[in-house]
Each structure stands twice: as C-alpha cells, then as structure tokens.
Amino acid sequence: MEYDYTEKVIEHFSNPRNVGEISDADGVATIGSEECGDMIKVWIKVANEYLADVKYKVFGCPAAIAACSMMTELAIGKHIDHAWELTDDHVAEALGGLPASKYHCSNLSASALHQAIMSYVTNSSVSSETATVTILVDDIAYGNFRSEHGLSIWVECGNRRVLFDAGPNDAVLKNAKLLGINLKQTDAIVLSHGHNDHAGGLEAVLNIASNATIYLHPAALEPKFSQKNGQVRKIGMSDSTKNLIGALAENGKVVWTRKPTQVFPGLFVTGRIPRNSDFEDDGGAFFVDKNCHEPDLLPDDQALVLNMPKGTVVLLGCAHAGVINTLDYVAKLSRENHISTVMGGMHLINASSERIEQTIGALGQFDVQRIGMAHCTGKDAVKRFRKAFPSRCFKCLAGTRVKFK
C-alpha cells in the first residue's frame, strides 16, 4: 500500500532529528501501539523547568519516525507546562498532515512526551534528606493552639516551605506564631480543594506571604454548596478570595493543577484524581448551585505528595476523591506501591460502617506504615483505624510535628 506523505514527513523520515538516548535523563517513557506494532521510547532533560533536550528511539513506519522527529523540534526549549500542551494535532499539523490511517503515529509521539514529563514530575526525589510536616490547623488542638473546623499543614523540606491549605479563618496565623513558623517565608501555597474550611484563611496568609505562588485546580473557584436536613449552606471561597486569586493569576502567581504538577523537585500535587473505587464517594451532598440541582463532583480535590528517600508521603486535604482512589493514583504516578505515610483529612465522617471497613482492608495493598488522621476523618473511622492498625496510627492535631527521612 502506498501512502501520500507530505514533503515535510519525507524530510523528517529521511533526516530525523534528535535521535538517541540521554544517559542522565530526568524523565523516561516508553509507549507502543498494538494496532501497528510501533514502539517509541523518549528521554527528556530538564533545566529550570524547561526541556533542555529531548531524545527518542522508535521502531515503526516513516510516519512514526517523522512524528517523533517533529515532536522533539516542537518541544525542545519549551517550559514543561507548555510542552505538556503539545498534542497529536500539533505534531500532525507541523508535518503538513498525515494519512488518516497513520494519524495515530503523531498521537504516540505526543503521548510518549507526556509520559516522560509525568515521569519527571512524579519520580524526582526531594533535595533534602529530611522534611518536617506540621499541622497548623485542625478541628482539635494541643494546649494553647487554636482549633477550627478545617485544615492547614506546613511543609519544610530543605530551604523550601509550602503551605497546604489555609484553614477557615485566622487560626493559621496564631498557631504559626506559637510554633515559631514565619509564614512570610512561604514559597508555595497548595489548595486541596475549594471548600472554605481549607481556603478561608488564604487572604490572611497572603497578606504575609506575598511572594508565594498558589497551586490549585480551576474548579476550586466554582460555586460550592452543601445540603443537610433540608438546609443549604454556601461552603465555597468568598468572592474577595476568588478576586484575589484572579489578580494573582494575572501576575503569573497562580499555577492551575489540571494535571499532576511539580511544586519543587520531589514534591508534587496530583491534580484531579480518577475515581475507580466502587465503594468510595465524595462524602456528602455537594452542589455547584444554591438550588442543589447540579452535583459538585469535586474535580478540584487533590493531594500533596513528597517523594522521600525512605518512602512516599501523601498529605490529604479532605480526600473527597476517596482515600483509596487517592493512594492508588499516587502509586501509579510514582510507580511505587509502597506508601510510607498518609496523613490529613479522610472525609469518612459520614461514611457507612461498610465503607470504613473496605477502606481499612484496601489500605493493605499500599503497605502504609504510618497513618495520621485529621479534620473530617470522623470519630468512628479513627476508632476503627486505631483498632486495625494500633502501631501505625498517630494523632494529627493542631500543633503536631512529624519528621520524615
């Protein structure tokens, strides 16, 4: 069968660019097509979040070779966020088009690049040998610390400082001061989702942490309501907080986490978490309209992950996507079934006895060694977890400090 290839395709097939390997690659991915037997392996080298080099090896037809060659030319020099936006359409268009039966070849090259970028984002290790995680805000507090229904966690890793959620009000400020934490040094703020008990303190924090970059999913800004016993409550961010985020976005201080996104090497946010478990749900009656007609599926729910030398640490805001869904996604992203620690809100407060038991049973597949339950986990779930894992559970109240290696 003869194919009508463009001059551009023939040129890149005859003289393919950037063929080879990168011995010290920051990200590597292999992808293949069962349909035609094509196989592609891509290596990337990243410098200051830009693709300094992209190499590949391909076993396939002229279209596959040309697509890989063109993909490298389009990707090299781009910031990884912009390179992520490269699609099969872009590759095919740059080649002047591909025969319909060969169009999947361009898809393979873009997909291989995406997977290599994902490998870089999720598999790099933290630059420091230790990290300290401090609970700034929780529903329960030690001693003189203030408690609020919400969550805020401070992460120190080397010279990097990240605030994961900001609680509902200004308790985050008081408790940080008591702990000797200078919020002005905050490098990044990650929002687990858009509920006010996690984002209400953001304005107060930003008055101090003016240089911080904010990481959140776009859906966190959507209207959010809950309904219980016929009562409807507005539970999303205030308009002033949304306006502040909008202004910061215009100044390049907001990163939208539609996909897994690196905050710093070894520390990444998951972005939207796939819902694959058949026993987990969002944990409540949540809606995006005040009449409670349109359910809020909470696509903004995300977790913060630290790749420590001795194991992966997963920080949960509320885990509306489900604890097991979250851990399963993290395991797939990091290609590591062993998760050393999970801590934060697990939103099992309204869960049935059956769901709690299924969650406990499913945790075994991840070999979790430390479990810190906070915020919306619920008294019944906490009791059952402690019974099931007596030596692994620890208190996660405001004022708690945990060190990781």
The residue ranges of every structural domain in the chain are: 7-123, 131-404
Torsion of CA 266, 269, 275, 276, to 10 degrees: 0
Active-site residue identified among 105, 157, 318, 376: 105
Q: Is the pLDDT of residue 301 over 60?
A: yes
Q: Using alpha carbons only, what angle is made at residue 391 by residues 388 and 393, rounded to the nearest 5 degrees?
A: 75
pLDDT recorded at residue 3? 67
To 10 degrees, the CA torsion angle through 286, 291, 295, 299?
-70
Query: Which residue in the list 36, 61, 292, 393 is annotated as catalytic?
Result: 36
- 68 and 86 Cβ atoms separated by less than 8 Å: no
- Residue 334 pLDDT: 82
Q: What is the pLDDT of residue 102?
A: 74
Q: pLDDT grade, residue 185 (50/70/90)?
A: very high
Is residue 68 pLDDT above 80, yes or no? yes
Distance from the first to the final alpha carbon of the chain:
59
The predicted-structure confidence for 139-174, as pLDDT tens digits, reads as follows 999 999 999 999 999 999 989 999 999 999 999 999
Annotate 99-111 with b (16+ C-beta within 10 A) or e (fewer): eeebbbbbbbbbb
Tokens found for residue 391: 């030596």
- What's this model's pTM, rounded to 2 decimal places? 0.87
The string of DSSP letters for 193-208 reads: -S-HHHHTTHHHHHTT
Show the CA angle centred on residue 269, arms to residues 256 and 220, nearest 5°. Answer: 45
Tell me, yes or no, if 68 is annotated catalytic: no
Report the chain's mean pLDDT, rounded to a whole number.
93
Question: By the 8 A CB rule, do 265 and 126 touch?
Answer: yes
**Residue 274: which of 241, 310, 226, 321 has the closest Cα?**
321
Query: Over the stretch 357-385, which tens digit does the pLDDT of each residue have?
Result: 999 999 988 989 999 999 999 999 999 99
Nearest Cα to 282, choosing from 314, 324, 330, 319?
319
Q: With pLDDT > 70 as the criterion, what percentage of the chain qualifies? A: 97
Helix (H, G, I), strand (E, B) or coil at 121: helix
Q: What is the pLDDT of residue 34?
A: 62
For residue 106, name the pLDDT band (cuts at 50, 70, 90).
low
Confidence of residue 128 (pLDDT cuts 50, 70, 90): low
Hey, what CATH topology would domain 7-123 get? Answer: Sufe protein. Chain: A (3.90.1010)
Residues in the chain: 405
What is the structure's pLDDT at 363?
92
- 37: CB partners within 8 A, 6+ apart: 59, 60
Q: What is the pLDDT of residues 198-254, one digit of tens each?
A: 999 999 999 999 999 999 999 999 999 999 888 999 999 999 999 999 999 999 999
Verify whether residue 61 is a known catalytic residue.
no
Contact 197, 150 (CB under 8 A): yes
Burial class (CB in 10 A: 0-12, 13-18, 19+), 2: exposed
CATH topology of domain 131-404: Metallo-beta-lactamase; Chain A (3.60.15)
Evaluate whether 159 touches 168 at the Cβ level (below 8 Å): no
Q: Return the ∠ at Cα 113 (arms to 192 and 82), rounded to 5°.
A: 60
